[in-house]
Amino acid sequence: MNDEIKVPYISKEELSQGESIFNRTVSELGEKQSIVAEEDIYSETGIKLVSSGTKIKNKIWEKIVNHKLIKPITESVSIENCLTINDIVSQAKSIIQNELFFVRLARSIDDPKYLLNKLKEINLPKPILNRLTVVRDARPRLYSHLLRTSIISAYFSFFHNLEPLKSDQLICASITHDMGEMHTDPKILEPNHIVTAEERRFIHVHPATGYFMLQNFPDLKGECAVAVLQHHERLDGSGYPSGLKGNEISILGQILSVAEVADALTWKFTSLKEIKVALNLNRKRFNTLFVDCLLQCVMEKEDNNKKNTKIKEKELKKRLSLISSVYDSTIKVSSYSENKEPLKSLNNRLKMFRYFLVEFGFDPNDHELLYEMNKDEPESIEAITLMVREFLWQNRDLLLFIESNKNHIEENLDEDGKKAISKLRTDLQKNLAT
């Protein structure tokens, strides 16, 4: 790993805009539960904004909205029913006992109490517990993701035999890794919202926001903060915020990225076999040591009926190659249409289309590898077949959109752009005809 940590630049305005979003959430929460200033709260320029003992509510937010506070609000307040480490442990216990993925994780360890003990050992400063309380009460799903990621990380600390200090850092990083998201406008994060390029910048900033947040705490500002900063970096350089590659990413950052993606998959897919396929498809982007370790412990041994799957595989190989051509054609069209306002809906469609494939782990340049890696696993083949079927729906949809808006699209493209859209139409039609 490089000794020098690359931290992306965030402007002062961006930082205070994010802080203001978070302070608004705190004030809104103060309308439902008691949040009290434990000390006077000052602006960075020395103006006293709130007196000790004041309840933080919406009207307080109006007072502080235009100021940058001298320190984060979570360092100056006490919150009713503030989260404790014991709460974290008992919530983790319920997850480990009730959710299949986590039941299997816990079962694969000889010492059944290991995972919970690892969580019990961490030491989080009060302002961080305050922040986590705000996450728990304002964004319960995000809180659950942090908790579940921490359980998977505790499992990795067992598997990798991490020394206690490192394992503490890893688990603290896991439970705080997305706290920076609380500084992002919640509207952008709504599931059906199509994120614009400008908004994507706000999302991509959350690892760095989390990193800066942890700099106030001597025990967390080292490896823990770096792992938070790197949790969306990927080994092949395709991640963010810095596009680091391979060993440029710290080992804790590598572990955390597998843990958090594994949990994200448990939200997305209902069956373990789908999780397994998605992990397999993404393995190039992660430390395979940890991916394989998860796959082994989470999945049960399967019977292989290779004879039956061979036929499917042949079709699949051809199908994956067609999908890859369509993918390339959409990129080509985008290169001509991207900055044209009248073609905004087309651009969004193309982006969503590619997003679906990439999310599933499809790599257009390496579709043969996808086939090779899964050919002996009937369940994987079955799940990829499901993806292909879903893809065909999207294929049909996109073709329909292009056909119905053909004139409008062509009017806004030059000759090369027209050729690109015509090639895309042919590829989409070919895919449906096969």
What's the closest the beta carbon of residue 392 comes to Fe ion, in angstroms?
31
Task: Take residue 7 and report the two structure tokens written for it.
Answer: 């931290």
Q: Compare residues 19 and 260 and give the one whose CB is closer to Fe ion.
A: 260
* Bond preceding residue 241 cis, omega within 30 of 0: yes
Question: Quick check: 74 and 114 in contact, CB under 8 A?
Answer: no
- 175 to 194, contacts with Fe ion by CB under 5 A? 178
Q: Which residues contact 402 (CB under 8 A, 6 or more apart)?
A: 346, 409, 421, 424, 425, 428
What's the closest the beta carbon of residue 260 comes to Fe ion, in angstroms?
4
Q: Compare residues 112 and 243 and give the one whose CB is closer to Fe ion.
A: 243
Q: Which residues contact 273 (CB under 8 A, 6 or more apart)?
A: 299, 379, 380, 382, 383
Among 19, 137, 168, 260, binds Fe ion (CB under 5 A): 260
What's the closest the beta carbon of residue 268 comes to Fe ion, in angstroms?
13
Q: Compare residues 223 and 260 and give the one whose CB is closer to Fe ion.
A: 260
Q: Which residues pair with 48 in a beta bridge?
A: 42
- Whole-angstrom Cα distance, residue 340 to residue 317? 36
Q: Compare residues 168 and 178 and give the one whose CB is closer to Fe ion.
A: 178
- Whole-angstrom Cα distance, residue 131 to residue 216? 13
Binding pattern to Fe ion, positions 274-313, x when CB under 5 A? Answer: ----------------------------------------
- Whole-angstrom Cα distance, residue 270 to residue 410? 42
Number of residues that bind Fe ion (CB under 5 A): 2
Residue 233 contacts Fe ion per CB under 5 A: no
Q: Which stretch binds Fe ion (CB under 5 A): 76-84, 256-264, 298-306, 357-365?
A: 256-264
Q: Compare residues 260 and 377 and give the one whose CB is closer to Fe ion.
A: 260
Q: Compare residues 73 and 228 and give the one whose CB is closer to Fe ion.
A: 228
Question: Quick check: 368 and 300 in contact, CB under 8 A?
Answer: no
What's the closest the beta carbon of residue 262 comes to Fe ion, in angstroms?
11
The position carrying tokens 């999207």 is 394
Q: Which residues contact 82 (CB under 8 A, 6 or more apart)?
A: 126, 129, 130, 133
Q: Which stretch binds Fe ion (CB under 5 A): 171-179, 308-316, 400-408, 418-426?
A: 171-179
246 dihedral zone (left: phi>0; alpha: psi -120 to 50; beta): left
Binding pattern to Fe ion, positions 395-434, x when CB under 5 A? Answer: ----------------------------------------
Q: Compare residues 147 and 428 and give the one whose CB is closer to Fe ion.
A: 147
Q: Which stretch binds Fe ion (CB under 5 A): 174-182, 311-319, 354-362, 389-397?
A: 174-182
Task: Take residue 429 and report the two structure tokens written for it.
Answer: 């039609």
Q: Compare residues 79 and 258 and give the one whose CB is closer to Fe ion.
A: 258
- Whole-angstrom Cα distance, residue 197 to residue 161? 41
Q: Which stretch binds Fe ion (CB under 5 A): 15-23, 185-193, 260-268, 392-400?
A: 260-268
- Whole-angstrom Cα distance, residue 63 to residue 27? 11
| Interacting residues with Fe ion (CB under 5 A) | 178, 260
